[in-house]
Chain A
Amino acid sequence: MFRNVQVGGLRYILTRLLLMIPTLFLVMVIIFLLVRLLPGDPAIAMAGDRASDAELEAIRERLGLNEPMLVQFWLFLSNTLQGDLGRSILMRAPVTQTIFDRLPTTLLLTFLAMLLSLLIAGPLAFVAALRRGRIADTVIRSTFQVGLSTPVFYLGLLLLTFLAAGLHWFPVGGYGDTFVSNLYHLILPAMTVALYTSAIIMRNLRSAVIEVLDAEYVQFARAKGLADRLILGRHVLRNALISTVTLVGLSIGNLMSGTLVTETVFAVPGLGRLMLEAIFARDYPLIQGLTLTFAVLVSLVFLLTDLFQSWLDPRMRAT
């Protein structure tokens, strides 16, 4: 019995991993086309506005931009399958190397931001739900409403101005050399993203908790005379988490797109800032590589979310 569950789980994971293949293929087709639909020309972006027409033609030839679209796509696809994402026009280096150099930074930032949003949202959501309609609830909800409606870059600048430049608690941007210093540098940017994400999570978790508190099985547990602590831990938390885990998984995409802004404002050398630079330079190979990387990361997080959910809610394993 126990072994069967494990084998089933393994098969589930494998199926899910296989399902990622068509997803990623679609992503590749879309990004390949989107990049080329952007007005502007990588040759001009590369050689500068001042280049002569002959120079531009030479660059297009060298980058293979004169090949038919299908040939370009086939090259992109077959090279990608061999782990070769091409050379970045902007960085003059292999795309894979450029991405791997910066990947840890963005992963760390995203992880920190997620951790912070959970630490902020979790306890406050419970407090708000348990004190529904009272002052604590109102204060918490309105505070988060402000957080939700403040643009990320503005929030970032506010934090920088007061906590970093004003109080000197944190460095004003940058990344540092050692792991500890990296963490220290990333706290403010992570907080900036987290304040936004935690607002969404808090709202969802609060209503989920309220819903569960009103559910019959909780009423029953209460009637049974179970201690509040047990009810909250065993019944409420676990059931309220189910929808929240989905939301957390989904917001990973939000968090990653948030890095585009925060990494620029806080001068963090990660993938988000690289993506912005790549787009402005019309660096086709780098844009493609980065999008693919983000797609793989998001797919993996979705997979993890599903696995975690099926652990929380055994009913999902059957489907």
Chain B
Amino acid sequence: MKKTLFVAALALSTAMTTSLFAQERGGVMTFARYDGSRLIDPIYADRNPDIWMVGSLFDTLLRTSADSQSVEPGLAESYSVSDDGLTVSLTLRDGLMFSDGSDLTGEDVVFSLDRARDPDLSPWAGLLGSINEVSADGQEVTLSLASPDPSILSMLATFNTAIVSKDAFDAAEGATDQERSAAIFAAGGPGVGSGPFYMSDFEQGASMSFTANPHYWRMGADGDPLPYLDGVEFEIIPDDATRILRLQAGEVDAAEFVPFSRVAELEADPDINMELFPSTRIIYAPINTRDTRADGSPNPLADVRVRQALNYAMNKDALIQLVLQGAGQPMSSPLMAAATQLSADLSPLYAYDMDRASSLIEEAGLPEGTEITFTTLAGSADDATVFAALQQMWAPLGIELVVQQVDNPTRGAMNRSGEFDIHTYGWVNDVNDPSQVVGWLGYNPTAQAVGTGWNDDEFNAIFEAANVEIDPETRAEQYRQLQEMYADAAPLLFMWETPFAVAVSNDITGYVQTPLGNNLFEEAQVTR
């Protein structure tokens, strides 16, 4: 299966630009965020506000294609995987530079990937567990794998394998890698990354500035290097209403995480372009499937028929109208968003069917008045609506749904200890490969199948086999099987997918949030 790809950088970057008009250069875009970054380092980024900014400052060897279904060349102009799947060879582009003009070499690649796969350093090291050794000879980089890894190319297009400058780390102060990373981040300035921007200013919790990297390799539609902007200014405005007001007052150019209840209003605003970017975000609810509850009492949800009945008795279309004002769609795969590679379209997944639900409940012999606790996030209007609606929808099944409100860390702890019946949860893929989300939702050894306690030996075995399967068709078939098994077992309430809602001023074009959540400013333009 020797596969070599050569794609010209120019053709690529023009293909990704949709604008037919002349390219506007210069200008600064201001962007209102819901939360600030703490440390933007490829290997230490562990919160979305950090992860989603890595790509602006650091570049990866490969890039995710616009449709998210494959990878394409990045810092590496070509790549190939050997027939046995044990060797990945990459060739770096000529003349690559970090943002301070210093050379980006194979040595930097080895340094970066060794850092990324060091379990003592990075929380993401497990995703690179197949790599045995990384070596470089001039522009040629070779990855030797201990076992075939079908997700390795996707991993090389993921934030945690972005390339950092070895020289910058060698020169930084600090005894440990963490300290050096923090020192580099605190100092700011060009040199540590080769992304379209470098960080020029940072005020913890308040603001952050990116300045265009003059040495960036990708070309714009006008034949000059990207980015088009001179820079991006970020402001942190945690309150939804304030963030939107600031955009409406013209004080910022974009506001992210617009609540869905405000989408219609902003769509009607002639000065604002309400973007709903397709995402890999799914909203679902883990169901405790253990035979007994944490307090030792018998668990009615251990019966698969009850879990299926709950899914049938959930009117997803009505809920999507209620909670998302229609800006979402029911999950079509039980294990992932439709935009994820290898997702199977099993829609309609548990289409609303009260008769079916009632007969399943009857079969299961669930006593009338069975009490089930629904744990919601305190202060979350969405959760409150979902609870109130489900209480109504499930009442005909003889289920008495009671609410328990907790805050986020408490919910996480309860999920781990199994002290819940049902609670809502969300997920966005970090990696452009289904293994991460399926490992989280279904594979018991990761985290007890998202805390549900569901444990199916056959499912686990297929998942493990798919993790080393390099024949794409066989792997796709394995994933189809996994999704069908999971849909039948119903360890979750399969709820919906939601887009990323970003309100953008009409002065701005070309800003994109990818399905993984990454904020892309490299092709954004400002016209004023």
User: Are A92 and B239 in contact (CB-based, < 8 A)?
Assistant: no
Complex Cα distance, B451 from A53, in Å, reads 12
Complex Cα distance, B446 from A51, in Å, reads 8
A264 contacts which of B178, B238, B245 (Cβ < 8 Å)? B238
| Cβ contacts A38-73/B at 8 Å (1 or 0 each) | 111110111111111101000000000000000000
| Nearest CB in chain A: distance from B263 CB, A | 19
B415 an interface residue at 8 Å Cβ cutoff? yes
B248 an interface residue at 8 Å Cβ cutoff? yes
Complex Cα distance, B414 from A171, in Å, reads 41
Residues of chain B within 8 A (CB-CB) of A175 are: 206
Q: A164-B245, A280-B408 are in contact. Are A92 and B205 (CB under 8 A)?
A: no
Residues of chain B within 8 A (CB-CB) of A282 are: 409
CB within 8 Å of B: which residues of A? 38-42, 44-53, 55, 90-93, 98, 101-102, 157, 160-161, 164-165, 168, 171-175, 264-267, 269, 273-274, 277, 280-282
Complex Cα distance, B242 from A173, in Å, reads 7
A40 contacts which of B237, B407, B447 (Cβ < 8 Å)? B407
Residues of chain B within 8 A (CB-CB) of A40 are: 407-410, 412-413
| Nearest CB in chain A: distance from B415 CB, A | 7
Complex Cα distance, B68 from A105, in Å, reads 44
User: Are A50 and B246 in contact (CB-based, < 8 A)?
Assistant: no
| Nearest CB in chain A: distance from B516 CB, A | 14
| Cβ contacts B234-262/A at 8 Å (1 or 0 each) | 01111101110110110100000000000
User: Are B38 and A280 in contact (CB-based, < 8 A)?
Assistant: no
B204 an interface residue at 8 Å Cβ cutoff? yes
Subset of 14 A-B contacts with CB under 8 Å? A40-B409, A41-B412, A46-B46, A49-B415, A92-B38, A102-B205, A165-B246, A165-B248, A172-B242, A174-B246, A264-B239, A265-B242, A267-B235, A267-B242
B123 an interface residue at 8 Å Cβ cutoff? yes
B406 an interface residue at 8 Å Cβ cutoff? yes
Name the residue on A nearest B44 (C-beta): A92
Complex Cα distance, B202 from A101, in Å, reads 13
User: Are B205 and A52 in contact (CB-based, < 8 A)?
Assistant: no
Q: A92-B182, A174-B235 are in contact. Are A52 and B47 (CB under 8 A)?
A: no
Q: A50-B447, A265-B239 are in contact. Are A173 and B413 (CB under 8 A)?
A: no
B76 an interface residue at 8 Å Cβ cutoff? no
Name the residue on A nearest B46 (C-beta): A48
B409 contacts which of A172, A273, A280 (Cβ < 8 Å)? A280
Name the residue on B nearest A97 (C-beta): B204
B39 an interface residue at 8 Å Cβ cutoff? yes
Complex Cα distance, B243 from A175, in Å, reads 14
Name the residue on B nearest A102 (C-beta): B205
User: Are A44 and B412 in contact (CB-based, < 8 A)?
Assistant: yes
Complex Cα distance, B249 from A171, in Å, reads 9
Number of A-B contacts (CB under 8 A): 113
B203 an interface residue at 8 Å Cβ cutoff? yes
Complex Cα distance, B411 from A38, in Å, reads 12
Residues of chain B within 8 A (CB-CB) of A91 are: 38, 204
Residues of chain B within 8 A (CB-CB) of A165 are: 245-246, 248-249
| Cβ contacts B138-152/A at 8 Å (1 or 0 each) | 000000000000000
Most buried by B among A46, A47, A51, A92: A92
A41 contacts which of B46, B242, B413 (Cβ < 8 Å)? B413
**Sample of 6 more A-B contacts, CB < 8 Å, known A50-B440, A52-B447, A273-B205:** A39-B406, A39-B410, A50-B447, A161-B245, A165-B246, A267-B235
User: Are B236 and A44 in contact (CB-based, < 8 A)?
Assistant: no
Complex Cα distance, B415 from A44, in Å, reads 11
Residues of chain A within 8 A (CB-CB) of B206 are: 174-175, 269
Complex Cα distance, B36 from A269, in Å, reads 11
B416 an interface residue at 8 Å Cβ cutoff? yes
| Nearest CB in chain A: distance from B230 CB, A | 18
Complex Cα distance, B123 from A165, in Å, reads 42
User: Are B410 and A172 in contact (CB-based, < 8 A)?
Assistant: no
User: Are B39 and A45 in contact (CB-based, < 8 A)?
Assistant: no
Residues of chain A within 8 A (CB-CB) of B38 are: 90-92
Residues of chain A within 8 A (CB-CB) of B238 are: 264, 267, 273
| Cβ contacts B392-435/A at 8 Å (1 or 0 each) | 00000000000000111110111110000000010000000000
Name the residue on B nearest A55 (C-beta): B123
Q: A44-B413, A44-B416, A92-B39 are in contact. Are A269 and B242 (CB under 8 A)?
A: no
B242 contacts which of A42, A48, A50, A160 (Cβ < 8 Å)? A160
Complex Cα distance, B46 from A92, in Å, reads 12
Residues of chain B within 8 A (CB-CB) of A46 are: 46
| Nearest CB in chain A: distance from B383 CB, A | 16
User: Are B205 and A274 in contact (CB-based, < 8 A)?
Assistant: yes
Complex Cα distance, B238 from A171, in Å, reads 16
User: Are B204 and A171 in contact (CB-based, < 8 A)?
Assistant: no
Name the residue on A nearest B235 (C-beta): A174
Residues of chain A within 8 A (CB-CB) of B243 are: 267
Complex Cα distance, B251 from A164, in Å, reads 11
B126 an interface residue at 8 Å Cβ cutoff? yes
User: Are B446 and A52 in contact (CB-based, < 8 A)?
Assistant: yes
Most buried by B among A39, A164, A175: A39
| Nearest CB in chain A: distance from B280 CB, A | 14
Residues of chain B within 8 A (CB-CB) of A164 are: 245, 249
Name the residue on A nearest B126 (C-beta): A52
Q: A40-B410, A41-B412, A280-B409 are in contact. Are A267 and B237 (CB under 8 A)?
A: yes
Residues of chain B within 8 A (CB-CB) of A42 are: 409
B413 contacts which of A39, A48, A98, A267 (Cβ < 8 Å)? A39
Complex Cα distance, B243 from A265, in Å, reads 9
Residues of chain A within 8 A (CB-CB) of B239 are: 173, 264-267
Name the residue on B nearest A47 (C-beta): B123
| Nearest CB in chain A: distance from B199 CB, A | 16
| Cβ contacts B178-190/A at 8 Å (1 or 0 each) | 1000100000000
| Cβ contacts B202-246/A at 8 Å (1 or 0 each) | 011110000000000000000000000000000111110111011
| Nearest CB in chain A: distance from B92 CB, A | 32
Complex Cα distance, B408 from A47, in Å, reads 13
| Nearest CB in chain A: distance from B459 CB, A | 18
Residues of chain A within 8 A (CB-CB) of B204 are: 91, 93, 98, 101, 269
Complex Cα distance, B246 from A168, in Å, reads 11
Residues of chain A within 8 A (CB-CB) of B236 are: 267, 269
Residues of chain B within 8 A (CB-CB) of A41 are: 409, 412-413, 416
Complex Cα distance, B425 from A31, in Å, reads 30
Complex Cα distance, B249 from A266, in Å, reads 14
Q: A171-B251, A267-B237, A269-B206 are in contact. Are A45 and B412 (CB under 8 A)?
A: yes
